[in-house]
Every structure is written in structure tokens, then in C-alpha cells.
Structure 1
């Protein structure tokens, strides 16, 4: 990470101002994120400010994910697009031993207002402070110099725009004559951490305003996008600015879409023969066995292509070809992954994946497992590659993906911020590839359907729906998702105690869907662990996955009693006093896990739907008895 004000292009041997891991540039510190350096603060530059040098970029292209992302980018801005090649790229990799300013990410200085650590003078760095060797200093008194640091308060809006806090008008907010002629501002902090006792004072006119007044600012956003560079990148905005602390946890939320690298399935030999130009011309409109028999009698090349294949199978192949040719949209990401998992071949002892394979999944035969009621099967994934791509980012509030792991930006009134200038030449997105392993646990659809029809579960679903509607958030995921998500967290915690990986190193992947609401029937959870390094993982998660019944028992025991019971178990999310509208019986003592492991920011959880809990109807629990 380099500062363009300190280094000249092409300079060799100049040290960068900071370092970040490549994977962090796709999640926590992507374009538009604020980062603290030793003596100043910066905002990470947009994709136009990423340099790869002579070595060029590393491509992580995935056609399936590209087709899924293009309409979502268009919903953000019609000018956004992805190139035909090189559309997913790893962040540039610098060499600390031989640094080169042509390789790295340019960071732009932000905020531009600094405060003196001695006299608390508050001003723009370019107006009141002297830059010496990359550090800003202030001459408080004669021959006395003090260091100046970036002010910790900035202004932002829900569209992701970012600007310096309006210090001058804010300090004179209560002054009758408005802003005075010669402003001399000071930031007075009487009690550390208490905004009610932090004041901005103008020494010239003695106007003063407490920072507690900044909780509701009357100023419109100017549409500033400093990560894009220059005022020309600003856009119109209809939002009001809000106070934001630079290092706050809600200052940056990256919208990251991930997809497993699935190899193309082996083509059906029959469908390959039907694709012959002359054969397909003859059979493409065939819908019945009688029509097929007549054409086979009249055309020898059709009879030769069909051979001895049963007529019903040929009709099904023709129908599948027609559906594939008329498809207008990419199949949802999770649906394609789910189908590949549930149709995985049976595991054979002694057979291992070939070196370098991107994906390998095997269904463990039931005679090798001790599956409890409610669990249909187990699929182990010894080789797994996942591509994670950042699409946009937001501030103040996270944006949840749908059940397919995709973002519906078109349905949002307030859209997040973009990573690059839409009209620019950068038609690519930053990406990272995770190599690892996983365990796929599939629930029994028949048992699950009966559980969803129970009176106690229906009433619980209505309660959760009422609480969710009070939040004003998108679409209710359904009681099935609450079950799968809660089971995933309990199982993740139980497995982490045995597999050799920390709980924060394991990540969940939820497969949920119901045909009744217009989607495919899906009910499974997959726990994965991986690394962006080239060596992958060591196989401990897969081996522990074979002991699925043991881990389900441990998960059942973990969920039965929480250290905060009976308060946790009796939590009513629909209550007016509730501060957790998206959770039932869930808290830090039982279900919450590290946010890097959870896809849904620890929302939509209720352990009462998984195991019997204190004060709740046992009929709520999917696993009423210990597995």
C-alpha cells in the first residue's frame, strides 16, 4: 500500500506505507475502506489505483460466477460490466524485500482534517500543519512543535459516500450570525470516549457545539467518493450525512459473492449425438414416442444416432437440450452446487482425488455411517476451491444476500457503493481463491416437511415473521432456514473441538429452499475450511465428518442449555423491548460464532427449533431426542 504523494512512479527500493494481506483487500479493506497507518489515515483506492507491474495480474476467472454477477452489476450502474477475460483478479502481490511502487494499491490520504495532540487545534492539514518526513507537526507556541494526528470523526451516508466532517458549520450551528469571518477551531475532549463531553469550539467567536449533536446532522451529502480520486468522481446524492468514527465496525461492509469451482459435468453421449446438425434439425420438435418412431423409420442417420436407447430416454434428452438452448438466465449458484453434492458418486476405499483437481466430492455409503433419524446422508469434499469476489460495499448497515448467496441490488432503494468508476476502463473485480475441504450434511426432506407442519413450528414461524417485519429488512428466509442456520452453528462448534481447526477457521455454507415458495427443495449445511495459500488444508475436517452422529450428539448437548438460560430460551423477538428482532433463543452464550465463519452476521438463529430448550414446547425441536 503506497501513498502517491510520497513516491514517484517507477521508484525502486521505496518502502510502502503499509501492508495488507491479499485476502483482506477482497473483504475487510477493499476499495473505499479506511485504514490507519503509523502517522496518518488513508482510504484504499479504487481499482484504477491498483498496479500489477510487469508481471501482470493473476486471473481467477469463473464463467458461471461471471454470468451470475453481470445483471447485479448492471443494477448498481448500467455502465458497469465485466470483460471477457481477466474479469476476476487477485490483488497485487508486493515484495517487501524488493519493493516497487508500480506494484501495489495506492491509498489516498483521508481524512484531510488533523488535530494537534498538544493544543487540540483542529484544521485541514494543508492549512495549519507542516509536513516533515511524512509526519504533520503544529507549532503550538514559540519554538514548540507538537505532532498532529488525523481526526477520528468523518461524515458518510448510507450510499457509501465519504467526506470530511463539516467542522466549520457544525461548530457555528448555534451562532446567530452563522459562520464567523476567521475560524479557529479546537477539538476539546473532556472525557475520553464520551461524545457528550467532546466539544468543537471556535476561539475567534467563542461558538461551541457538543459532538452529541452530531447524531442527527442537517447537512446533505455531496456524493464524495475519495477512493475513486478527485472531485470529478463525485455524484449526486439524496441522503443526509451521518457521523462516522473511522475505526468503527460499521464503517465498511463488503458485499462478497462466492461460488465453488465446479468442473463441467461429463456430457451425456446420447445428447452429444443428438447435437449433430442434421440429427438435431430432424428431432428438435419431437415430443412423443410415436413421432420419434416415425422419424427413425424415415431417416437412417437419426436411427443410427439413437441406437438401442429406450424411446422415453431419447424424448427426455431432446427436452433437456431444448430447455438448455432456451435458458435466458444463469442457474442460481447454490442450486447448482447442491445438485452436484447430492449426485456425488459413492466413495470407494483406496480411491483418492487426482493431484491438482479443483473439486472432488464423494457420498459416504450408509453402511459405513450411523445416521440418526432426520439426516439423509453425508458427502465428504476432500478437494474444494472457492472463488470469492467483492462486488460493492456499504456503510452503517450490512446488506444480506438471498438464500442463493446472491445480492438483489435492483430491489434496493439505497444501493451500495461501487469499487471502480463505472465509465472507466476497469472491467474486472478483485477476487481471492480459497483451497480447502468440506463436509456436506443433508437433511431428510420427508422428515423435514413433517416437522414444518407441526402446530408448534407453525406458531413459532409466525412469531419470527412478526419480529422480522418490524425490522423493515428484505425478505423473510423462513423457519427452515432458521433450523439449518442454527444447526450449522451448533455443529460447527462441536466439530471444531475435535478436528484440529479453530472455530474461526471453519466457515458455513447453507443450502435452503422450498418448492412451495417457488424454489428448489434444498436442506443441507456444509462446513468448510480453507486457506488462500497454495497448499490447501490437512484433511482433519473430512475425517471428523465421518463421525457425524457423534458430533450431532455433541451439538445437541451444546444447544440444550445456555449459560444465559432461562433468559435466552425465553427470548421473544416480537416483543417491543427486544433488541434482537432476527433471533429466537440465541445469544453469545450458545449460538453466536465468529462473524468470519457465519454467512449471515449471526442473524436468523433459534436453537429451540433444533433441540428441546427450557420453557419451550419440545415439539419445536427437529431433534427432539438425542441423536
Structure 2
């Protein structure tokens, strides 16, 4: 299938859904995205973000030189036969086994029994056909929707011959797949062998019974065309399109000013444009192009000779760049957001301080409106079967599978622009609240659930707990996101959160950032900033707290004890505090609305006093 287009996905989906090693379930066939070593890097524009690159190197090694955007078509209506029209990422049909929709024949796509029918003008209609179907003519062939996967990140074809014969067999008869019964439950799905009349239901491939009916994992990495030497993990059957077949491991940072002056920051942000510039005259050409396209706002305000000097200083390593730590990602962001004089007009960071809602002056220390911000995300690996844990120790998450055969020299990244609201809480108010006995009791309850949850998964129970401060700030962010979606018409999935929580006496943090950072225009035209003004923000917080006081699932929700069922949330559920998991940085974990408002079960642990007390 070399050079045949088979479909389209958005560039951001190659980070979050269809990255290397992931299956793309298209309307008429299924393909797997190949490793990074097969991508054309000339079609992958670089992304400059020093802090994110440092964090990626900490995980993958210092050989990583670049962050690059996935390739994408810049224009619509390009001829599919031109070089521009063939831009994309390499894929391969997977699983290899196809099923004829008429006669049920089950065979590999390269067995000579199937033909590919390409449609360059409608790639989504590219499909396989069974050339000589015994029921007459040509009929469509679709992927067999069963696979094998293991916790080590391996993926393999379902062992159809092994399964139907109950183990190794010399029989080479044709296999057929058919449904028996009205429903499509696994007990009604059968595979048979025409050579020896063997037959078996797919119900025997799942659960504990599947452990005895499936072979050991072969260590296959189909996107890399290699097999690992050995794999002792249990291979289990999964369905094509199942969400547990590929979980991305990503890192994200906010682009914040890291240079000593604005021109140096502009040159650093636009280094992909200036990297190969050789003279002042070339700088003039680049600046004119950037000004016309709006790709680097503000660069046209500077003299080309000053820009050339900044370029030479960056090449010589003489710029005032702040040293980037490979550890903490959020700390530098907090330092900028909580600064007494935050940057107000930088290329990718424009902020404005605003007044605090008067009703919350004793609890909120600062509100910052971010009129312009940029978020950069990078893909560093993926897992299968089990999602990666939020633990800071990579050794405690499921084994991370590789994106390419050797150590990667670059990783896929995306950048999105948006706006946001940063709310910083008063440190003295937070510390006074944390010291209350009833809050310490809620802390112990959440910690007990945390330990039980990690014990059940074979993880260290004493690591990874973010603390009661984080749970309170996290819940506040969720309540405000839901209120924005309910009252102001925003799509809740288009608003993301970033929680800054640390009880370290030397450098405490207590704040939340709610921001829009999506590829579409939802929430990027100034609407979120407008809602952050005191006359709007105060009423939104008030409504969020009132709405959180009673949940439609009470009293079950308010009485929920995480220690009893080893869960990671207390008084919270889909009806009151959960948001879309794409918006939440913790997967709807470590939430408890009793930390913010009084509930039926707990009325004294609330950080926010009753409305009458605030008014008084």
C-alpha cells in the first residue's frame, strides 16, 4: 500500500489518539501508525519551547534534539497526485487478518485472496475486496476486529488458527467467521475451520478462560517491524477500537517569558525562522514575511540590525536565558503568574491584573487575566492495557512503549493558543484552613483511599498523594469550569485546568489557572477574559458554590468514603464535580466538594464560609 492515502486525521490527533503504535479505525479498513523513524522530518516543522524540551530529555535522554509538529496539508483542494498532496504519516494495514462480509472467509490481507481498491480523491473510501468470493463476484472485506495486547506495550494479530484448533495444528484449512444468534455478544461469534470442521466461540478468548486458550505474548511491535526478545506479560484479547489499546504519555507546558528582554524572547520564540539567517539583509526579508503572516507578533517593531545582534548572541550563548530546570514544570510558571508585575505584552504571553471580587477579598489574593497564552504538548511514549499513572516516578507506571526503533532524536509536539484566568488564593487563609481538625480528618480519609487504590494496583501506597490543599484547589477548578459551561455557553471540554499547589513553607503555591487551548475558536476570542472581571467572576464563583452545596446524588455522594471502596475522590460525582477528562489534569481524581462548601455529611471543613458570613 505504499503511497496510497487512506484517510485524514487532525494533526493534534497524532498526539492524543493516533500516535505511533496506535490503531486508526477508518470507515473501511484499519491501519497502524508507524514509528517516528519512518516519518519525513522535512515535513515536520520544529516547535521551540526550551522548558518542554528539557522535560522530554529527562525522560527520553539528551539525544532528543527537537520538538516537531506532525505533518499536515497547508491547503485544501491539493491534487492527490502532487507531492504536496501526499504529505502525511506512514501507516500499514493492521490487523493483517480480514473477513469477507459475504462468505465469512478469514485470511491475511497479503495472502493473495484480497485486493486493495484505492480512491485517491476520496481516501476514506479506500478498502479491500475479496476478489473471488464463492458467493459470486467481488465482495468487501473488513478487518477482523480482535487483537492481542499486553501490558508491556506489545500488539499482535489474534491467533485465529491456534484458537480454533485449541493449540498448534498442522491443519491449513480455510477459516471462516460468522455470527450465530440475534445479538453480537461474544458467545454468538464463532470461527470455524473448513479443513477439519473445528469450531469455537470467541467467548472463550476473554476473561480467565482466555488465559488458557491464548498463546504467550510474542513481543511484537508492528509499528516498528520488530519483536522483542522475550515478554513474560499475559497476552489478552482486545477489540479493535478499544480505548485500552493505546494510552498516550504526554508532557505540557505554558510558554512563559524566559529571556532577559523582549527582543531576545521574540528571537527565541521564532528561532525556527532565524536559525539559518546569515545577514542583516536576510533578517529584513524574514521580518517582512513574519509581519505579513502575523506568525511572530511584535517582531516588526525592532530594527533589523538589533534583531541580527540578538540572533548572533543566541548563537554564541550570550542571551539572558534563565536556566531551565529538568524537574519542576509548574514552578517557573507559578513564579511568572504570581509575580507582582507579570509580563503584560510578550509574543505568547499577554496578561492584565484585575480587581478581586469583593465577596472573596479575604480568601483570594490576586486575579490575573491572560489575554494571550500558548500551550505546548509533547508525546514521549504510550502504554497499552493500563493507563499511565499520575505518579512522578516513571518506574511506577506501566512500561512505556517506544515511539521508534532506536532512541528518538525528536518527538511529536503541538502548540495551541488561547486565553485564561489565573486565581491566586491567600496563603495565610489556606494555611489556617489546613490546620483545622475537621480538615485534617478529611485529609486522612482521602489518604486512606489513595493508599488502598495504589495497593490494589501493586504501587507504593506512600507515594503520589498530592495533599488536601491540592484536593481543595482541584475541586474549586472543576466547579468553576462547570459553571462557565452552564451559565456562559462555553463547551466544558474546551476549558482546561492547571493546579498550582504546594505546602512547602519556603515556596508555597495555591492557585488555579483555567484556560482555553484548543485548535478551534471556542473560547479564544476574549470571552473567557471577560468572565474574569470582578463583576462577572464573583457571581460565577458564588453560583458554583451554591450549586455544589447539594448534589442530585445526595446523600450517597456527600457520604462517600474513599477508604471504603479504595477510590480517589470523596464527595464528588458526575452530577456535581466531574468534568471532561480532557479538561482535568488528574482524570477526575482527588476531588471533594466538602472542602469548599458544607454538605449533608460534613459542614465544617469548607474553605469558603456561608454566603451570609461573607456578606457580614
Shorter-chain TM-score above 0.5: yes
Q: Within 2, Cα distance between the matches of 1:447 and 1:171?
A: 66
Residue by residue over 1:588-619, the C-alpha shift from the partner in whole angstroms, topping out at 9 and shown as x without a partner, is: 111121222111222222222221112x1211
Q: Within 2, Cα distance between the matches of 1:360 and 1:408?
A: 34
Residue by residue over 1:425-478, the C-alpha shift from the partner in whole angstroms, topping out at 9 and shown as x without a partner, is: x51111111111110111222222222222222222222222222222562222
Q: Within 2, Cα distance between the matches of 1:536 and 1:568?
A: 31
SS at match of 2:115: strand
Q: Which of 135, 138, 150 matches 2:143?
A: 150
Q: Is the 1:199–1:210 Cα contact (8 Å) retained in structure 2?
A: yes
Match runs of 1:75-114 below 5 Å: 81-83=63-65, 86-93=66-73, 95-98=75-78, 99=80, 100=83, 102-114=86-98
- Aligned counterpart, 1:343: 339
Please say which structure displays the higher CA radius of gyration.
1
Residue 201 of structure 1 and its aligned partner are, at CA, apart by 2.9
SS at match of 2:200: strand
Is 1:412–2:396 an aligned residue pair? yes
Relative to structure 1, the CA distance from residue 234 to residue 24 in structure 2 (aligned partners, 3 Å threshold; closer, same or farther) is same
Q: Is the 2:51–2:324 Cα contact (8 Å) retained in structure 1?
A: no
Match runs of 1:344-383 below 5 Å: 344-345=340-341, 354=345, 357-366=347-356, 370-383=359-372
- TM-score for the superposition, normalised by structure 2: 0.79
Q: Within 2, Cα distance between the matches of 1:499 and 1:128?
A: 58
Residue 34 of structure 1 and its aligned partner are, at CA, apart by 0.8
Is 1:465–2:461 an aligned residue pair? no
- TM-score for the superposition, normalised by structure 1: 0.77
Q: Is the 2:386–2:398 Cα contact (8 Å) retained in structure 1?
A: no
- Aligned counterpart, 1:607: 593
- Aligned counterpart, 1:181: 171
Residue 211 of structure 1 and its aligned partner are, at CA, apart by 2.3
Residue 140 of structure 1 and its aligned partner are, at CA, apart by 4.3
Q: Is the 2:100–2:142 Cα contact (8 Å) retained in structure 1?
A: yes
Is 1:213–2:204 an aligned residue pair? yes
Q: Within 1, Cα distance between the matches of 2:219 and 2:518?
A: 37
- Aligned counterpart, 1:597: 583
Residue 160 of structure 1 and its aligned partner are, at CA, apart by 1.8
Match runs of 1:163-202 below 5 Å: 163-173=156-166, 178-189=168-179, 190-202=181-193
- Aligned counterpart, 1:586: 572
Match runs of 1:276-425 below 5 Å: 329-330=325-326, 332-345=328-341, 354=345, 357-366=347-356, 370-402=359-391, 408-409=393-394, 411-412=395-396, 414-423=398-407
Is 1:502–2:491 an aligned residue pair? yes
Relative to structure 1, the CA distance from residue 523 to residue 535 in structure 2 (aligned partners, 3 Å threshold; closer, same or farther) is closer
SS at match of 2:252: strand
Q: Is the 1:435–1:536 Cα contact (8 Å) retained in structure 2?
A: no
Return 5+ residue gaps in structure 2 as ranges.
118-126, 262-319
Residue 128 of structure 1 and its aligned partner are, at CA, apart by 6.5
Match runs of 1:100-139 below 5 Å: 100=83, 102-127=86-111, 129-133=113-117, 134-137=127-130, 139=132
Relative to structure 1, the CA distance from residue 135 to residue 339 in structure 2 (aligned partners, 3 Å threshold; closer, same or farther) is same
Residue by residue over 1:157-213, the C-alpha shift from the partner in whole angstroms, topping out at 9 and shown as x without a partner, is: 11221111122222222x7xx525234333333354422332333343333333233
Q: Is the 1:186–1:201 Cα contact (8 Å) retained in structure 2?
A: yes
Residue 94 of structure 1 and its aligned partner are, at CA, apart by 5.5
Return 5+ residue gaps in structure 1 as ranges.
8-15, 75-79, 268-323, 348-352
Residue 96 of structure 1 and its aligned partner are, at CA, apart by 4.4
- Aligned counterpart, 1:225: 221
Match runs of 1:3-14 below 5 Å: 3-4=1-2, 7=4
Q: Which of 490, 496, 502 matches 2:479?
A: 490
- Aligned counterpart, 1:11: none
- Aligned counterpart, 2:52: 65
Is 1:260–2:238 an aligned residue pair? no
Is 1:43–2:32 an aligned residue pair? yes
- Aligned counterpart, 2:294: none
Q: Is the 1:261–1:387 Cα contact (8 Å) retained in structure 2?
A: yes
The two structures, once aligned, show a CA RMSD in angstroms of 3.0
Relative to structure 1, the CA distance from residue 196 to residue 514 in structure 2 (aligned partners, 3 Å threshold; closer, same or farther) is farther
Q: Which of 541, 546, 555 matches 2:528?
A: 541
Q: Within 2, Cα distance between the matches of 1:120 and 1:150?
A: 11
Residue 585 of structure 1 and its aligned partner are, at CA, apart by 1.7
- Aligned counterpart, 2:422: 440
Q: Within 1, Cα distance between the matches of 2:249 and 2:165?
A: 38
Q: Is the 1:378–1:442 Cα contact (8 Å) retained in structure 2?
A: yes
- Aligned counterpart, 2:12: 23
SS at match of 1:434: strand
